[in-house]
Structure 1
Amino acid sequence: MLSTLLMALAIALIIEGVIPALFPNKWRAYVLKLANEPVNTIRQIGLFLLLIGIMLLWTVN
């Protein structure tokens, strides 16, 4: 169980690192744009991604 969790974390970190490694200028522009968004919008995006992740895990399991 712990090894599966660590593997999932490792895959998430790899995926998160690909975009800034391959496209650093576009990634920087996106982060700057995101920083100027209202907090409520960022929270809604986060909750949407969280729900997609939960549904995906539930579907796979």
Structure 2
Amino acid sequence: MIETAFLALGLVLIVEGLAYALAPSLVEQLLEALRAMPVEARRTLGLGALAIGFVFVWIAKTMGA
């Protein structure tokens, strides 16, 4: 179980690191766009991402991960 948690955390860090390494100016633009969004829209976006993440984890677990 802990191995899966480390794998998931490692994959998240790889994806985040790639974004900052390959397109730092795009990350800055994204942060500016997020600052311009109302708080409720950011909260809804975050909850949507959370729900999609849970679905992905559920699918991975049903496939045997």
Instruction: Tell me if TM exceeds 0.5.
Output: yes
Partner of 1:16: 16
Q: What residue identity is the alignment partner of 1:13?
A: L
Number of matched pairs: 61
Deviations, residues 2-41 of structure 1 (Å, cap 9, x unaligned): 1210111011011111112101111111111111211100
1:47 corresponds to: 47
Specify every segment of 5 or more residues in structure 1 that has no aligned partner in the other structure, as ranges: none
Could you tell me which runs of 5 or more consecutive residues in structure 2 were left unpaired when the two chains were aligned.
Answer: none
Return the letter of the residue paired with 1:35. Answer: R
4+ residue runs over 4 A deviation: none
- Structure 2 residue identity aligned to 1:22: L
| Cα distance, 1:55 vs structure 2 | 0.9
- Quick one: which amino acid aligns to residue 17 of structure 1? G
> Does residue 60 of structure 2 align to residue 60 of structure 1?
yes
- State whether structure 2 residue 45 is matched by structure 1 residue 34: no
What RMSD in Å do the two structures reach over aligned CA positions? 1.0
TM-score with structure 2 setting the length:
0.84
Q: Return the letter of the residue paired with 2:16.
A: E
* TM-score normalized with structure 1 length: 0.89
Q: Which amino acid aligns with 1:28?
A: E
Instruction: Give the counterpart letter for 2:19 in structure 1.
Output: I
